[in-house]
Each structure stands twice: as C-alpha cells, then as structure tokens.
Amino acid sequence: MPYRIARSMKSAVLLALVWSVTLFAGCHALDGGGDDDPDPTSSPTTTGTPTTTTTTSPSPTPTEPPEEEPALSAAAIVNHTTEANAGEELNITWELRTTTGEAITVDRTEIVWSNATFTPAQAANGTIEGRQDSVDAPGTFNVTFTVDEAGTVYVRAHAVDGDTEVWSDIIEIEVKGGGATGGTTHIVSIGMKVVSVGGQTFKTGEGQTSFFEPQNITITLGDSVVWRNEDQKGDVEHSAVDCPDPAQQQDACTDPPDWRTAQIDVGEESAPITFTTAGTYWYFCDVHPGSTTMGKPTASQNQIKVVAPS
C-alpha cells in the first residue's frame, strides 16, 4: 500500500509540473515574448527607399579682374612712298598703338632705314630719321627724307617705352637713278675776260660783260658742279651762291641761300656742290652783286636745271 500511494503522488507531481510549464509558455506568448519585443504602442517601422537630403552651399561672390594698365603694344607703317628717284623725298607715315587704346606717353619713336634688309637686332647699322621724344600713343607720325643712291631701301618704324620696344614689319622702297656717289662733275668757268676790239684791249667788267660759262646747264640728279675762276683781269676772287627766287631780286639775291661756295682765287676751283633734289637753281657771284651777268640771275641765265635720270 505505501508503494501505491507513493506512485500516485509521483504521478500527480509530474502532472502538475507539466501543467505549470504549459501555463508559463502560454503567458509568455501572450505578452509578446519578453523585454526584447517591440512596444505594442509604438508605430510600426516602414521599410522602403531611403530619402537623400542635399545641402547646397552658397555660390561665391565673383571677384572683378584687375584693371589692365595701358602699355605700348605695336608700331605699324600705314603709308609710304613706294618708288622714287635718287635725291627725291621719301615720305613715311607710321602709327603707335597701346594695349587698351588708352593714351600714354612713350619715350621715343623713329624710322630706321638701310640699303640692306635687317632684323631689329641688326638695326644699329641703319640710319635713323624723324626721331621724336616723349610722344603720345596711340598716335600718328610722319617723316620725309632723301636717299642719294639707287637701290632698294628697307624701312621699319621703331618705338621704345621703358623696357618695352616695338618694331613694325619691314617695308621696301625702290629708289631709281644715279645718286650723289659716282655722279658726273660739271665745270662752270667764272671771271672776266680780256678782249681785243679794233686793236684796243678791253677787260670784261670795264664796259664789257663778265661771265659764267656755260651760262645755263642741265645736269642729272646726283651730279655735282664745280666753279673754276678763270678771270683774265687780274687777282680777282669770285663765288657762286644759291639764289632761291631770282624774280624778286634787284642787284642780288637777299633770301638765305641753300648753298654757297667759298670765294675762289684765280686759277682755283670751288669745292663741288652736289644736287640731290630735282628742280631749277639760280645763282650769282656775291663778290660782284652789281654785275650784269654774275650779280643778277634771271629766269633765263645763271641757271642749273637738275633732272631725274632717264
């Protein structure tokens, strides 16, 4: 009997234990599974494409570029003689330009020419014409000059301002004809002659006429004239002096002469006068300004006509 009671009691304990475990599991399921379960009052989590938020930085304020200072930028020949005879004027016009077009003062500008083509580095061998200092640019400049020898003349415009130096493109001018070098020298005799009329001796200047022989000559551009004193009266000096406008003169020319010889002793010659510009030149002897032929040039006597070579 004690064995049956013990066995029945053991069965009851096991049954109670199984019931307790079952009851605990059911309560745990009802309250959401414990502390790790979400709060039943919280909102459900929504699953989907995440939203991207873009933050835009403000654009930087543009800065003004520094203002450009005007500076010398170029030299250019804009007009020029294309062809001329030796001794005739060549005319060159050139411009200076700046980077901004605003006006500045440039240290200097000029024309450089040579009988051979040249680069700016070779310009020291050239001839400078029309130099001007402290000039305004932009600006236009002009110069005229003569070249006495035939051949091609090469010309550039040049300007300097501080460390800035500019050169124009090179231009060419054809110069035709002879020129001062190698031209012909012409002799004109000057003085008073001893003449004999009916056995009586007269000296020109004593009621007779003194002379330039030949009285008028025509020469070629670049030729020279020498006056020789061949006076037969005695130890008398003579000269030859340019007379710019004989039509306005009485006994002698009063305008400033372009050229004149020194006084020439008997038997001597003057230094040569070379003519490099075409035209007509009148002259007289200023030692004898009252002489009919030596002191009063007219449109038809004491004349040198200079013509270009054919």
pLDDT at site 15: 59
pLDDT of amino acid 162: 94
User: What tokens appear for 125 in the block?
Assistant: 């061998």
Contact 24, 34 (CB under 8 A): no
Its CATH class, for the domain covering 185-307, is: mainly beta
3-class secondary structure per residue, the chain? CHHHHHHHHHHHHHHHHHHHHHHHHHHHHHCCCCCCCCCCCCCCCCCCCCCCCCCCCCCCCCCCCCCCCCCEEEEEEEEECCEEECCCEEEEEEEEEECCCCCEEEEEEEEEEECCCCCHHHHHHCEEEEEEEEEEECEEEEEEEECCEEEEEEEEEEEEECCEEEECCCEEEEEEEEECCCCCEEEEEEECCEEEECCEEEEECCCECCEEECCEEEEECCCEEEEEECCCCCCCCECCEEECCHHHCCCCCCCCCCCECCCECCCCECCCEECCCCEEEEEECCCCCCCCCCCCCECCECEEEEECCC
What pTM, to 2 d.p., does this model score?
A: 0.43
Q: Where are the domains of the chain?
A: 72-177, 185-307
What confidence score (pLDDT) does residue 205 get? 46
pLDDT tens track for 44-69? 555 555 566 666 666 677 777 778 89
User: Which residues of the chain are under the pLDDT cut of 70?
Assistant: 1-59, 177-182, 193-210, 246-255, 288-300, 310
CA distance 287 to 256: 16
Cβ atoms 178, 199 nearer than 8 A: no
Instruction: Dig out the tokens for 13 from the structure.
Output: 């304990």
Task: Please report the pLDDT score of residue 48 as a whole number.
Answer: 57
Nearest Cα neighbor of 212 from 284, 133, 108 is 284
Give the angle 305-306-310 at the CA atoms, nearest 5°: 125
CATH C-level class of 72-177: mainly beta
275 with 306: CB under 8 angstroms?
yes
Q: Which two tokens stand for residue 12?
A: 């009851």
Residue 296 φ/ψ, nearest 5 degrees? -135, 85
What one-letter code names the amino acid at 89?
Answer: E
Of the candidates 191, 208, 186, the residue with the CA atom closest to the CA atom of residue 274: 186
Could you tell me which of 182, 114, 121 has the C-alpha nearest to residue 153? 114
Distance from C-alpha of 185 to C-alpha of 218, rounded to nearest angstrom: 12
At 186 the pLDDT is 92
Residue-wise pLDDT for 171-225, tens only, equals: 999 988 644 444 789 999 887 766 555 555 545 444 445 678 888 999 988 889 9
Would you state the structure tokens that stand for residue 16, as one six-digit string? 């109670």
What was the pLDDT predicted at 254? 62
